[in-house]
C-alpha cells in the first residue's frame, strides 16, 4: 500500500470472523496464529470439522471454536462499522494490506487493529521512546528534545500515551515531520489518562492512535504491559530515556530484544533512582546513547543494505555542507539540491552537524552555519 492510499474498509462478514476468533474462550493469540497458518482465514477456521480442528488445537479449544457465535456479535460488528465510517478511523485485520508488516512479524501480533488518524504512519521507519511516568524535569526535556530531533530526521516516534516520558516523546514527535504514533491500553474510543486528552486529540489529527482492544474497553492492570509489545513491534528500536529499576519501560525493552529490535538507554547519575533501569539495560547490552545523533548512528548501522540508508558523515562531507551553506540562512531543500543529495538523507546529517554545534536550526526549516 502506498502512503497516500486509503485502506479499503473491512467487510462485515470478514470483520465478524476476526472478532469472533479474537473473543473465542481458551484460544489465545499464539493458538489463533497457528490456526491461521493452517486454515488461512477465520471463516475457514469456523467452517472446519472437529477432526480437522483437533489437528491443531486441544479438544476444549475445538469445542469453543465450534460453539455458536456470541449473541451480541452482530451488534459489536455494527458498532465497529459505525466507528469505521467516521473520517480517519480504520479497522485493520491481520490480513489487511495496510496492517504494518513490521508488527505482523512479531510473536503474538494483534488479530485486529483499531487505528485513528494518519494510518500511513504505521509502515514508516520509527523508533519507540519510553520511560518513567514520574519523570524528572530533565528526563522530560531529554525525551521531548530527542524525540523532536529524531522526528526532524524523518523517524516516527512511537510511545504509549502515558504521563511523563511518553507524553513528552509524543509532543517532540509532533513537533517534527516524522510525527508520532500512540499505542493505547484502552479501546480506541477511550483516552487514558484523562490528563492527556488534549494530547490524544492532537495525535488523532496530526499523528495516529492505535489499539488492539475492542471499542469501549476501559483501562486495566493487564492491558498496559500487553500493549507494550505493540509499541516495540511497530518500531525499529526502543529508546529508554529514564526508568527506575522496576519500571514498565523495562518490559518494553525486554519485548524489543525478543523481537530482534535494538535497545538504547540514556545514562544518568549513579545516585538517581530514575537512572537505575537505564543503567541495568546498559549492563545487559543496551547501547548507551547521549543524543539523538547516537540513535541515528545506531539505526544507520542497522539499516546497512536497506534502501535509503544514510551514508556516514566524514570530514570531507562536513566541509562540503558548511561551504555550501555560506554565512546566510538556507532552506534544507535548497541545500539538498546544491549538494545533489536527497532531502530526507540530508536531514539526518544536518541534525548531526547541529548537535555538534556546527550549525543552528532556525524557524521555518532554515539552517545557519555557526562560526567559532
- Region 76-99: mean pLDDT is 95
pLDDT at 201 over 80: yes
* Strand 237-240 relative to strand 262-265, pairing: parallel
**Per-residue b/e over 109-148, b at no fewer than 16 CB within 10 Å?**
bbbbbbbbbbbbbbbbbbbbbbbbbebbeebbebbbebbb
pLDDT tier for residue 278 given thresholds of 50, 70 and 90: very high
Q: Which long-range contacts (CB under 8 A, 24 or more apart) does 244-248 make?
A: 244/132, 244/273, 244/274, 244/276, 244/277, 245/273, 245/276, 245/277, 245/280, 246/277, 247/131, 247/132, 247/277, 248/224
Q: Residue 132's Cα: distance from chain center in Å?
A: 17
Q: What integer is the mean pLDDT of 6-24?
A: 84
| Spatial distance between the Cα atoms of 102 and 154, rounded to a whole number of angstroms | 17
Helix (H) or strand (E) holding 116: strand 112-117
Q: How confident is the model at residue 351 (pLDDT cuts 50, 70, 90)?
A: low
pLDDT-derived band of residue 211, with 50, 70 and 90 as boundaries?
A: very high
Residue-level pLDDT at 314: 59
pLDDT band of 350, cuts 50, 70, 90: confident
d(CA 329, CA 208): 33
Q: Name every residue whose Cβ is closer than 8 Å to that of residue 4 and which is 6 or more positions away in sequence.
A: 120
Average pLDDT of the chain, as a whole number: 88
The region of weakest confidence among 22-26, 47-51, 91-95, 114-118 is 22-26
DSSP 157-226: EEE---TTHHHHHHHHHHTSTT-EEEE-SS-TT--SSGGGHHHHHHHHHHSEEEE-SPTTPPP-TTHHHH
Grid cell digits, residue 180? 508520532
Domains of the chain: 7-85 (1.10.150), 119-302 (3.40.50.450), 315-369 (1.10.10.10)
Instruction: Quote the crossing angle between the two packed helices 197-206 and 165-174, to the nearest 10°.
Output: 30
Q: Which residue has the higher pLDDT, 54 or 9?
A: 54
What are the cell numbers at 94? 491481520
Look at residue 151 and tell me whether its pLDDT is greater than 90: yes
Sign (positive/negative) of CA torsion 271, 272, 276, 278?
negative
Amino acid at each position: 500500500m502506498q502512503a497516500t492510499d486509503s485502506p479499503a474498509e473491512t467487510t462485515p462478514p470478514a470483520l465478524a470472523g476476526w472478532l469472533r476468533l479474537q473473543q473465542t474462550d481458551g484460544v489465545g493469540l499464539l493458538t489463533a496464529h497457528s490456526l491461521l497458518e493452517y486454515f488461512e482465514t477465520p471463516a475457514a477456521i469456523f467452517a472446519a470439522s472437529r477432526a480437522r480442528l483437533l489437528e491443531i488445537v486441544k479438544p476444549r479449544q475445538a469445542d469453543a471454536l465450534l460453539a455458536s457465535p456470541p449473541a451480541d456479535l452482530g451488534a459489536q460488528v455494527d458498532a465497529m462499522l459505525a466507528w469505521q465510517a467516521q473520517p480517519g478511523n480504520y479497522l485493520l485485520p491481520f490480513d489487511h494490506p495496510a496492517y504494518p508488516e513490521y508488527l505482523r512479524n512479531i510473536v503474538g501480533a494483534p488479530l485486529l487493529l483499531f487505528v485513528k488518524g494518519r494510518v500511513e504512519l504505521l509502515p514508516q521507519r520509527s523508533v519507540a521512546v519510553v520511560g518513567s511516568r514520574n519523570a524528572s524535569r530533565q528526563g522530560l526535556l531529554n525525551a521531548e528534545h530527542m524525540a523532536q530531533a529524531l522526528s526532524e530526521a524523518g523517524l516516527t516516534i512511537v510511545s504509549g500515551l502515558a504521563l511523563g516520558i511518553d507524553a513528552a516523546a509524543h509532543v517532540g514527535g509532533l513537533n517534527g515531520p516524522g510525527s508520532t504514533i500512540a499505542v493505547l491500553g484502552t479501546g480506541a474510543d477511550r483516552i487514558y489518562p484523562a490528563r492527556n486528552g488534549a494530547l490524544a486529540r492532537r495525535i488523532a489529527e496530526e499523528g495516529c492512535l492505535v489499539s488492539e482492544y475492542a471499542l469501549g474497553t476501559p483501562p486495566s492492570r493487564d492491558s498496559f504491559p500487553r500493549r507494550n509489545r505493540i509499541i516495540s513491534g511497530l518500531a525499529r528500536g526502543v529508546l529508554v530515556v529514564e526508568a527506575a529499576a522496576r519500571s514498565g519501560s523495562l518490559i518494553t525493552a525486554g519485548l524489543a530484544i525478543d523481537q530482534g529490535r535494538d535497545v538504547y538507554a540514556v545514562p544518568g547519575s549513579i545516585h538517581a533512582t530514575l537512572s537505575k533501569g537505564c543503567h541495568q539495560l546498559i549492563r545487559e547490552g543496551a547501547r548507551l546513547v547521549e543524543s539523538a545523533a547516537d540513535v541515528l548512528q545506531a539505526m544507520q548501522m542497522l539499516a546497512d543494505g536497506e534502501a535509503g540508508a544514510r551514508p556516514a558523515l566524514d570530514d570531507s562531507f562536513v566541509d562540503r555542507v558548511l561551504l555550501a551553506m555560506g554565512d546566510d540562512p538556507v532552506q534544507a531543500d535548497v541545500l539538498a539540491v546544491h549538494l545533489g543529495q536527497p532531502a530526507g538523507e540530508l536531514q539526518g546529517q544536518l541534525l548531526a552537524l547541529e548537535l555538534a554545534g556546527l550549525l543552528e536550526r532556525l524557524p521555518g526549516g532554515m539552517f545557519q552555519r555557526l562560526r567559532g
